[in-house]
Amino acid sequence: MCFDAAMTLPTAQPWFRIRHAGDGLTQIDEPHVSPLLQANVWWLRGRDRDLVVDTGLGVGNLRIEVPGIAEANPAVVLTHGHLDHTGGAPEFDAVLAHPGDRVHDPLPGSLHRTALLDELLPGGAPANDDNPPLLVTAVPHTGYDPAAYRLRPPVAVYPVADGDVIDLGGRWFTVLHLPGHSPGTICLYEEATGTLFSGDCVYDDVLFDELVGSDVAAYVASMKRLLELDVQVVHPGHGDSFDGDRLREIGERYLATRT
Ligand SMILES: [Zn+2]
């Protein structure tokens, strides 16, 4: 494999794109990453503590570029164990995750397409894949070597289960265990406002249910459960937020292809 392409990558500073979404919510993503791995970090200010949902790839430094994100005793929740959601986890004192995914002992991951797809797809990377081999289009600082990327385990992982409640002080988010994309996929749901942080269970694009660890039957059951909730707004693992009507369209389209 040739890693020489990294030598010519530009430096992108800042690494993260930070957008304020209103009501104390901030959407953070990594624009210099392949769409395959370009995931959201959601940071919600709470009265007593903050909520951080997912942590990005771990290529850029969240704590430096997003001042304050680790200061209000945040509950840092990983929606599942894939690298684009967990890479920045070691920057926090502890994270919460469902034990169904290997968060505490992650696979190494890679910023090289073939190596990553060998890890994520049951049949390995497809032959004759003509997509760009490198999954970043820039580096966060001079000297950063994409070939040295390894997913590191969090400092501490506390398990969460379906029905657990995360209390920010006056706002309560319930953990929903919704396996299918991965065994340990969870969403966070605030019943009072119909707010859903959905991770990779639902976003407005093709849903992945054939990865290593995916389970189509479980995904179907999870989607049916999700569509029974009174959801007003979805903050997904990939792409921008959407409303409950769009959630139902995406969910029903998925179910139509799988049932
Ligand atoms: Zn995922």
Q: CA nearest 137: which of 4, 6, 28?
A: 6
CA 85 to centroid of ligand 1, rounded, Å: 7
CA 169 to centroid of ligand 1, rounded, Å: 29
Query: b/e per residue, 162-196, with b = 16+ CB within 10 A?
Result: eebebebeebebebbbbbbbbbbbbbbbbeeeebb
CA 182 to centroid of ligand 1, rounded, Å: 7
How many residues can be counted in the chain?
A: 259
CA 122 to centroid of ligand 1, rounded, Å: 14
Q: What is the CATH number of the domain that holds 114?
A: 3.60.15.10
CA 170 to centroid of ligand 1, rounded, Å: 30
CB–CB of 12/140 below 8 Å?
yes
CA 127 to centroid of ligand 1, rounded, Å: 22
Q: Residue 248 belongs to what domain range?
A: 4-258
Half-sphere exposure of 40 toward its Cβ, with a 13 Å CA cutoff? 27
The pLDDT tens digits of the residues spanning 108-123 come to 999 999 999 999 999 9
DSSP string, the chain: ---GGGGGPPB-SS-SEEEEEETTEEEEE-TTB-GGG---EEEE--SSS-EEE----SSS-HHHHSTTTTTS--EEE-SSS-HHHHTTGGGSS-EEE-TTS-SSS-----SBHHHHHHHHSTT-SPTT--S-SBSBSSBSSTT--GGG--PPPPS-EEE--TT-EEE-SS-EEEEEE--SSSTT-EEEEETTTTEEEEETTS-SS----SSTT--HHHHHHHHHHHHTS--SEEEESSS--EEHHHHHHHHHHHHHHH-
Give residue 53's pLDDT. Answer: 99
The pLDDT tens digits of the residues spanning 245-259 come to 999 999 999 999 998
pTM of the model: 0.96
- Domain tally for the chain? 1
CA 31 to centroid of ligand 1, rounded, Å: 17
Give residue 156's pLDDT. Answer: 98
Mean pLDDT of 35-46: 97
Q: CA nearest 36: which of 190, 182, 206?
A: 206
Q: Rounded to whole angstroms, how far apart are CA atoms 92 and 98?
A: 17
The pLDDT tens digits of the residues spanning 224-242 come to 999 999 999 999 999 999 9
The pLDDT tens digits of the residues spanning 193-206 come to 999 999 999 999 99
CA 37 to centroid of ligand 1, rounded, Å: 9
Residue 7: band (very low, low, confident or very high) from pLDDT cuts 50, 70, 90:
low
Give residue 199's pLDDT. Answer: 98
Residue 33: band (very low, low, confident or very high) from pLDDT cuts 50, 70, 90:
very high
